[in-house]
Amino acid sequence: MAAPVGLPPPVGDRAAGGEGPPATQLRPGLRREAYLDEGVFRHELVSVFARSWCCAARSAHLAAPGSQLVAAVAGESVLVVRQADGGLRAFRNLCRHRGARLCLEPSPQPARVIRCPYHAWTYGLDGRLLAAPNARELPPLETLDRGLLDVEVEEWAGYAWVRLEAGTTSLAEEIEPQLLDRFGDPATFDRYGIERLAVGHEITYDVAANWKSIVENFMECYHCAPLHPELTAAIPEFRSGYGSVSGGVGRGARLGPDVEAFSASHRASRPRLRTLNDTDDRLFYGVILLPNVLAVLVPDHVAFFRIEPLGPGRSKVRVEWLFEPEAVADPAFDPSEAVSLLDTTNLQDFSACERCQLGAASTAFDPVLVPAEHVMETFHGWVATRCSPGPAPGPY
């Protein structure tokens, strides 16, 4: 039986403290409709994803004006374009003439214009309609009001963050409270300098589970001992059932005594990220930036997860492993030990999420949360708030 007697629940555990219920109580999880129902899923796309700043794609490598990204956000295709002034603009990936998708995948070369391949309607990098065939049969193009449809975009941490439905809060206003809640300060996260790191590896996972299951899984370490022997060998304190996310404000988990690095071999292959300080050394931080980002911060790299919800029971998770640019540029660069440990853990996690998705198909599905999982309730409340008031019945 895996019921290790680990560390006591840390001081500061949110769910355990304050006016809340006693920690020993079981609390209800979400109803099965939250994971199964097509209508609930559509409602979440509109109410959670379209109204939130979603991480769309890594943009740091888009240097030249006219470089482009194509990303799926809240079920819509978005085109992100580097401007001449170094900023980003984002547009619906939709020609304003007949509605063709402009870009199926970004061209490897920076473009000077955005041209629809169907009828050659041509837009500037700023989205203005510049030219169309048979233009003399048309009203003056500048009066047509058929420029590309703007989408809000901000660039942060080397990523393009997009909000489909214009809102009043800035990206910083959404991110900073989450970082404060997690670290107690914004400086810890900033020290990893994610914006200047280089992608050394990437894996896309096709997961037969609802996006919320993937977030929930990242929120608790109660599963770490039974599910993750490799992970808990590297970070023994995870056997306590409390991880770095569920462990309280500022909590980082410590590598085991003989573990040099967060890698399959426990050996270090590279120095720590050069902007870190001694405080960060030997620590593992999990971070969640709702609605669609998970990140793992360890001394010598960062793994950055983007979740793309595809349906009630299907999600895509893209993970990018980020290293010092010099390390990646080195011909001898080999990230396999670092990648392998997290990849093994991810596959275990996503398989568990898929088991819960199968369970949600049962009419008897009726999950409960133990104290080590109470942090999930905050997430459920966050989703419920974004979704309400709304037309769909709330399963949260």
Binding residues for a second copy, rule: CB under 8 A, are 1-4, 9, 23-26, 29, 32, 75-77, 92-101, 104, 115, 117-120, 122, 130-135, 137-139, 144, 146, 149, 222-223, 225-227, 241, 352, 355-356, 358-373
Report the alpha-carbon distance of residue 13 to residue 247 in Å, rounded.
6
Q: CB of 103: closest distance to a second copy in angstroms? A: 10
Q: CB of 24: closest distance to a second copy in angstroms? A: 5
Query: What single DSSP character describes residue 316?
Result: E
Q: Which residue, 32 or 306, has its beta carbon nearer to a second copy?
A: 32
Report the alpha-carbon distance of residue 178 to residue 176 in Å, rounded.
5
Q: CB of 342: closest distance to a second copy in angstroms? A: 19
Q: Which residue, 156 or 365, has its beta carbon nearer to a second copy?
A: 365
Q: CB of 131: closest distance to a second copy in angstroms? A: 5
* Amino acid found at 373: E
Q: Which residue, 373 or 377, has its beta carbon nearer to a second copy?
A: 373
Q: Which residue, 135 or 329, has its beta carbon nearer to a second copy?
A: 135
Q: CB of 101: closest distance to a second copy in angstroms? A: 4
Q: CB of 224: closest distance to a second copy in angstroms? A: 9
Q: Is the peptide bond before 389 cis (omega within 30 degrees of 0)?
A: yes
SS3 89: strand
Task: For residue 393, give both structure tokens.
Answer: 């019945």
SS3 47: helix
Q: How many CB atoms lie within 10 A of CB 173?
A: 11
Report the alpha-carbon distance of residue 105 to residue 265 in Å, rounded.
37
Report the alpha-carbon distance of residue 261 to residue 335 in Å, rounded.
12
Q: Which residue, 93 or 263, has its beta carbon nearer to a second copy?
A: 93
Q: CB of 217: closest distance to a second copy in angstroms? A: 9
Q: Which residue, 26 or 172, has its beta carbon nearer to a second copy?
A: 26
Report the alpha-carbon distance of residue 273 to residue 298 in Å, rounded.
9
Q: How many CB atoms lie within 10 A of CB 24?
A: 8
Task: For residue 91, give both structure tokens.
Answer: 């547009």
Q: CB of 179: closest distance to a second copy in angstroms? A: 28
- Give me the residues paired with residue 271 across strands: none
Return all residues near 345 (Cβ < 8 A) that are at least 6 apart.
Answer: 228, 230, 231
The secondary structure of 58-82 as a DSSP string is E-TT--STT-EEEEEETTEEEEEEE
Q: Which residue, 168 or 363, has its beta carbon nearer to a second copy?
A: 363
The secondary structure of 73-127 as a DSSP string is ETTEEEEEEE-TTS-EEEEES--TTT---S-SS--SSPPSSEE-TTT--EE-TTS
Which of 177, 178, 175 shows the shortest CA–CA distance to 163?
175
Which of 311, 293, 290, 310 shows the shortest CA–CA distance to 302?
293
Report the alpha-carbon distance of residue 351 to residue 320 in Å, rounded.
20
Q: CB of 10: closest distance to a second copy in angstroms? A: 13
Contact 285, 221 (CB under 8 A): no
Q: CB of 42: closest distance to a second copy in angstroms? A: 11
